[in-house]
Structure 1
């Protein structure tokens, strides 16, 4: 081949080299290396998206499990609270029954003491009657026998009685001055006094019982409501009236009008205390005291789960923001995310 055959082509190559060096006539063509880099980036983004979706699903499942556990714990806590309230009601009812039984025992004890005192007073009156009969010799001398023989101290001169006929004693009318005077004096002195003492004893026992109940109310109220002064004033007022009534019942010359007035004031104080207690009980939604250890543990567990749920929600928000950022970056790079 000659040089003239290759000369025009050499000129074309030189022109092509000049055009390629300028970069204004040939289009830009992507190489295989750039395409492989785009595929690697796309795969990396797909892996990141799948990982984010897996974490989101796991977080959603965890939150649902925590919510279900919290609901079950709240249900168990409500059941425990209901059981505790029922136990409180049972304890209060048994306590009221116990107080009623104690009051009945006090009443029966007072009645028994009253009957014992009456029996003792009857025995005293009988002994005084027998002593009055034995101490009057005229009464003994005025009792002749059926056959007219005098009565001796030992009965040695008494004739033998027939076994067939039972002797009848003659009715002897003794003067009332010898028979009834001493006895009536003793009865008038002992029986009314004993009856008064027994009535005063019954009243004292009843007042002691009311005082015990009021003091117990003071102790319970001071331990549960430390800032309520109105109920304390009512209880102290009732205790003052009760102390005055106890003083009146110990004296025999007490004024009945004053006693009735103090009883009315005491009953008004007790009614006011009962109304205040009922109002406080209606204002309370549930039992605030006497919570068992199990219920306390459940409350702590529920609060802990609530804190963990808040932390998981924050993590879910962060993951969602990261997911949105990655999606925006993919859109900017022109890579369509796989559905």
Structure 2
């Protein structure tokens, strides 16, 4: 670009010297060329300046736009930085609040866990005490029932012994008299006899004893049948009275079953404590009898009705251990699986 400007200047400077050497036509041609060159230089100058001005203006506009954008970006960056600072502060506050809340919750949970542990320990102690009390109460009831059964058995044995001694005494102290007793199915009569019969009186008394025994048996059977009927009809109190009469009747073949049914009547009346004692009399007096296994099973069910599942469990285990081949042992095992 600089070379273009230097060439015309050199030509202008050398024109005086060249005029002395060139012709007039050459000078004119040279002047024309110079004017053409100058015109081109002016055109180029105008065009270049305008373009440069336009470019400068455009660049200035771009720069202004860039500065505006930069200011906007800077403003946005400042705002973003401010928001970040606010968020960081809020985040710190939130973290601090969360930490405090976690500490408070942990302290509360620790207190609650301690309270729950204390309650669980207290409940375990109470449950253990209740179980021990129930077991002791069951043992006490069992001992009381056994003592009652033993006392009843002792009284029964004493009564039987007294009756035997009484009958023996009556027979051994009899003497021959002038009367003898004749027994007939219709009535009993006393007929005078003047003959001396030393063996007639004992024979007559033995016959009277046989009649009394047969009569007692008939009464016992009748009481037992009536008791069963009352039981089937749902009259459990009346059934209990009749079963008790049968159980205490001398020579009754249904005495043991009647005692068991006395317990059943009490069970139906929901008098479970009394039923347990009644069953215990059978268990203590007749441990090898099949009725003992039934009585023991019903005793466990009575304890269940009294909400004493621990004692019931002990009884069911005893049934499976002592009466393993009986149907009651199967039932007891099934009940153990549900407790």
Q: Greater helix percent: which structure? A: 2
TM-score bucket of the superposed structures, by smaller chain: 0.3 to 0.5
Task: Select the structure with the greater relative contact order (CA < 8 A; seq sep ≥ 6).
Answer: 1
TM-score by length of 1: 0.40
TM-score by length of 2: 0.40
